[in-house]
Amino acid sequence: MLIPVRTTIFEDMSARARAAGAINLGQGFPDACGPLSVREAAARAVLEGPHHYPPMRGTEALRHALAAHYAETQGLHFDPASEIVVTSGATEALAAALLALLQPGDAAIILEPAYDAYGPLIRRAGAAVQPVRLAPPDWRLTAAMIEAAITQQTRLILVNDPVNPTGRRLSSHERAAIRDVALAHDLLIVADEVWEEVRPPGSAHVSLAADPALAGRVVKIGSAGKIFQVTGWKVGWMLAPAPLAARLAAAHQFLTFTTPPALQQAVALGLQTERAWMDEMRLEVAAGRAHLAQGLQQAGYAVLPSDCTWFLSVDLAASGIAMPDAAFCRWLVDAHGVAAIPVSAFFETDGPPQSVVRFCHAKAAETIDAALPKLAAARQQMAQKSEQMPLFSQSP
Ligand code: PMP
Ligand code: GLN
């Protein structure tokens, strides 16, 4: 018998948005599309080549560019020959890492809300999922919370930092908690850091891979889709010490084997030449966040704090809307023409919080301006209804 597999919330909400002709603030993709030089480099490489299988671990140019980029921006040192594996997006990197590092009977910790691919990929590797449930508004993580989920079977912790969907990043205390637990229980860490470049302007990203105490334990995952705003390109990578990287490469070779070389060439060029574009991108993303947050607040929504990724969230209960997040998102797209993502989709099981909704703010000012009156009308209608008839009550 085939086990049912659900369609992702992103695909589901984007399909609803298309059907309703709605403004799509659901699935995470920006209105913009990356630096011109990077797109031109890709176009040139498609015309002129290379066209055939690049090396299984990625083109020389991209592996060298990644090594230089991470040395300069995060003080990390990875050998391009033995410690970097290029993949077809971070999704493939996650699949390869989990298949390489987990055996049937093992278990893996995830921190919820967790990116929706984590649970299914861990189970696909034959392992059990051990969720650690965090709570809004600050989604704070402690060592005790992780300890409570650990068993003899726990083999690794899968961490996302900065976090999709909350748009916040781990504090130094939270990173230390993860480190202490990993050392106490001899665990590996898969650090999904695809949002590393989408952070407050002028700030630095501190990778879990930068902690010397964790040497030999961390697989760091990145994605060009997020750095260069080209989500459809699916160029990602895994960085790890050589013995781990050899295991990761062994898994990658039987998943996709390689990744389109033209796109790898273009990403290599971008990493070498587009540092100023990345600074500008951070300013633009921060402006989009402030624009949407301000408009939502004016419309009466309770906006949760965030400063990273392309996402911000609102708490419906605290906004006077007595409706579960998933039902609200289905109603919002059909009745008011704006798609959003219910954060309950980032949890393995039902339970609180079920009143947090994620919006993608990496959009042109006109897109946000077009969405805001619709969101205001939705808030007004639903808050009035909620006062008369509480469908669902949850303390903010
Ligand atoms: N991890 C996280 C936390 C993400 O948000 C995403 C994409 N939104 C991915 C992985 C997948 O990245 P890619 O598109 O490179 O496969
Ligand atoms: N990661 C993107 C998001 O969070 C979507 C990726 C996907 O559609 N699978 O919206």
Tokens 């909704």 belong to 357
Question: pLDDT-derived band of residue 394, with 50, 70 and 90 as boundaries?
Answer: very low
Average pLDDT over residues 278-291: 98
Task: Kindly give, in sequence order, each residue whose CB lies less than 8 Å from that of residue 105, ignoring residues fewer than 6 positions away.
Answer: 126, 127, 153
Range from 15-24, 81-90, 346-355 carrying the lowest mean pLDDT: 346-355
Sheet containing strand 341-342, edge to edge, reads: 302-303, 311-315, 356-360, 341-342
Asked whether the predicted pLDDT for residue 395 surpasses 70, the reply is no
Predicted confidence at residue 393, as pLDDT, reads 45
249 SS3 class: helix
- Candidates 368, 353, 287; CA nearest to 314 is 353
Cα(59) to ligand 1 centroid in Å equals 21
Q: Compare 72 and 4 and report the one with higher pLDDT.
A: 72
User: Per-domain residue ranges for the chain?
Assistant: 9-34+276-383, 36-273
Cα separation, 145 vs 134, whole angstroms: 9
CB 342 within 8 A of CB 27: no
Question: pLDDT-derived band of residue 391, with 50, 70 and 90 as boundaries?
Answer: low
User: Per the omega criterion (within 30 degrees of 0), is the bond before 137 cis?
Assistant: yes
Residue length, the chain? 396
Pair type for strands 154-160 and 128-133: unpaired
Give the start-end residues of each E strand in the chain. Answer: 23-24, 84-87, 107-112, 128-133, 154-160, 188-192, 218-223, 236-239, 302-303, 311-315, 338-339, 341-342, 356-360
Whether 234 lines ligand 1, by a CB cut-off of 6 Å, is yes
Average pLDDT over residues 187-198: 98
Question: pLDDT-derived band of residue 366, with 50, 70 and 90 as boundaries?
Answer: very high
CATH architecture of the region 9-34+276-383: Alpha-Beta Complex (3.90)
Whether 115 lines ligand 1, by a CB cut-off of 6 Å, is yes
Percent of the chain with pLDDT over 90: 94
Q: Compare 3 and 13 and report the one with higher pLDDT.
A: 13
Ligand 1 atom with the smallest distance to the CA of 224 is 15
Cα(159) to ligand 2 centroid in Å equals 17
Question: Beta-carbon neighbour count of residue 227 at 10 Å?
Answer: 24
pLDDT digits (tens, 9 = 90+) for 250-272: 999 999 999 999 999 999 999 99
Pocket test for ligand 1, best of 226, 231, 264, 308 (most atoms within 8 A of CB): 226
Question: pLDDT-derived band of residue 390, with 50, 70 and 90 as boundaries?
Answer: low
- Ligand 2 pocket by Cβ (under 6 Å): 8, 10, 27-28, 164
pLDDT digits (tens, 9 = 90+) for 59-71: 999 999 999 999 9
CATH architecture of the region 36-273: 3-Layer(aba) Sandwich (3.40)
Task: Kindly give, in sequence order, each residue whose CB lies less than 8 Å from that of residue 92, ignoring residues fewer than 6 positions away.
Answer: 234, 236, 252, 255, 256
Range from 65-69, 364-368, 371-375, 380-384 carrying the lowest mean pLDDT: 380-384
pLDDT digits (tens, 9 = 90+) for 6-34: 899 999 999 999 999 999 999 999 999 99
Name the average pLDDT for the chain: 96
Predicted confidence at residue 16, as pLDDT, reads 97
pTM of the model: 0.96
Read off the amino acid at residue 174: E
pLDDT digits (tens, 9 = 90+) for 73-84: 999 999 999 999
